[in-house]
Amino acid sequence: MSLEVQLLLLLWGTLVGLDLVSVPQIMIARPIVAGPIAGALLGDVRTGLEVGVLFELFQYDVLPMGATRYPEYGPATVAAVSAAHAAAGAPGIGLGALVGLVTGMLGGASLHVLRRLNAGAVRVAAGALEAGDARVLMHVHVMCIVRDGLRAALVTAVGLALAEAVRFVAGALSVRGVTLLGVAAVAAAVAAASAGTLRVVGRGPSLPWFIAGVLGGALMAWVR
Amino acid sequence: MRSRPRPLLGRSLLRLFTVQGSWNYERMQGIGVGVAEEPLLRDLQEAGDGVAYRAAVARGAHFFNAHPYFCGLAVGAAARAEHDGVPPEQVERLRTALCGPLGSLGDRLVWAGWLPFTSGLAVVGVALGFGMPAVLGFLIVYNVGHVALRWWALRAGWTYGARVALALHQPLLQRAVAWSGPAMALAVGAALPLAARALALPFAGWARSALLAAALVGFVLLWLSRGRLTGLRFGLALLALAALVGWLWR
């Protein structure tokens, strides 16, 4: 993979990471968007779509409410697509999931660190903020966004480095081993999405709609 | 009552897109809310009341936490209250009182409704072979609702001021909240089997059986261990197990 493509992926992962919390929250951070665009940058939209759907399923397990800690699947999906692209098809998705889940965990931890750093910056500026200094207010805010941009870039860079490392490991795996990784990735994603969605749906009035959706989707899948 | 800086609602709206940029464990969204509110307070300064302006800016940056798309309601309402000469402690109480309802409403309407509903439709589209157009359709449709909600919230906050609770009882909003849950359940419900089928296509024979068994076991484990076992942890554990089995069973 050329350096230009790697840099484009890094830029895309950074934008995706910024979108999750900081700006502008237009949901390019969703794996279903981050994956296909990363795939397009690699000239492999199909892998991007597959990995995007896989991580979108993992995303259904996450509700980003309040101060909860959760994995960050946006830059993770970009790194996962990079890994999966190297070994397209069934082998790719397992290796992509491995890279993506590790990167997602790292991204979640980095968000926690960022929030603590932001709290420190706000504490330092507390006097000026309490005096109603609008310039300091804006400066603190902008620096926090810059900090998040650097965080997102770092997480993406680590993810892309992991993807490169996995490429070397992939050659040592047997066909059966690689297939098992793919099976594990898809099974975990489906299980996470089902349990996560059902947790949100609960036993209230939405449950019959969920059952109707599953039956309708299963029927469509069977007919196709 | 002082003049109302309506033309600056646009600038405030733009800043609201960054409202969580300085999220932290102490003031949470407070700094971002203060940044978004500041343009609406400028005419207090232009009217020669620099003390009132600075005091209002300082109040605007105090602790706040709600759903990001609904922050505009608090921004508009607090700014309007400052212009209307509402006592400072009452403005603080108004902001505090809005945190819970705006957080809960936004979580139900957007995080557990509109977002998974539209993304579920996108997954269905991709699984049915529509590819990139399904993804772009998701981005457009989701953001039409997203931007409209942010704009409505800011305008409603500015219009109602300290009586902003009235805005939350609008019939359209109530209907949207009531329908978002079932719509999400239907869309994501349909997406699950279609996505599973699409992702399982490259596998055959024993691999498909193993996939079905692992997904069922995983679902039961995740359901029974709610709050302790996450999808990410289960995924990593299953991948580690698969790697081990693959290494032993060459």
pLDDT of B61-88, one tens digit each?
Answer: 999 999 999 999 999 999 999 999 999 9
Rounded mean pLDDT of B229-240? Answer: 95
Does a cis peptide bond (omega within 30 degrees of 0) precede residue B68? Answer: no
d(Cα A21, Cα A67) in Å, to the nearest integer?
A: 12
Q: What is the pLDDT of residue A62?
A: 87
Cβ separation A220–B235 shorter than 8 A: no
Q: Which two tokens stand for residue B70?
A: 């609904």
Rounded mean pLDDT of B86-95? Answer: 94
Rounded mean pLDDT of B202-219? Answer: 93
Q: What is the pLDDT of residue B46?
A: 76
Q: What is the pLDDT of residue A90?
A: 57
- What's the mean pLDDT when you consider all of chain B? 92
Chain B: residue nearest A216 by CA? B190
Inter-residue contact A74 to A16 (CB < 8 Å): yes
pLDDT of B147-168, one tens digit each?
Answer: 999 999 999 999 999 999 899 8
pLDDT over threshold 50, residue B1: no
Q: What is the pLDDT of residue B11?
A: 94
Cβ separation B18–A145 shorter than 8 A: yes
What are the chain B neighbours of A176 within 8 Å (beta carbons)? 246, 249-250
How far, CA to CA in Å, does B121 sit from each of A20, A78, A211, A218, B203? 20, 21, 16, 15, 25
Report, as ranges of residue numbers, the positions in chain A whose pLDDT lies below 50: none
How far, CA to CA in Å, does A6 sit from each of A33, A99, A101, A159? 18, 16, 20, 11
- Locate the domains of chain B by residue range: 6-187, 203-248
pLDDT over threshold 70, residue B109: yes
Q: Give strand pairing partners of B28.
A: B24, B64
Give B159 to chain A, closest Cα distance, Å: 24
Cβ separation B246–A176 shorter than 8 A: yes
Residues present in chain A in total: 224
ipTM above 0.90, yes or no: yes
Q: Which of B11, B12, B23 to mutate to test the interface with A (most CBs of A within 10 A)?
A: B23
Could you say which of A122, A196, A212 has the minimum Cβ distance to residue B24?
A122
pLDDT over threshold 90, residue B143: yes
d(Cα A32, Cα B115) in Å, to the nearest integer?
A: 12
Could you say which of B123, B189, B215 has the minimum Cβ distance to residue A187?
B215
What are the chain A neighbours of B196 within 8 Å (beta carbons)? 186, 190, 221
Rounded mean pLDDT of B46-63? Answer: 89
Residue A148 Cα to chain centre, angstroms: 15
Sign of the Cα pseudo-torsion (B32, B35, B38, B40, in order): negative
What are the chain A neighbours of B114 within 8 Å (beta carbons)? none
What are the chain B neighbours of A76 within 8 Å (beta carbons)? none
Query: What's the predicted TM-score (pTM) here?
Result: 0.94
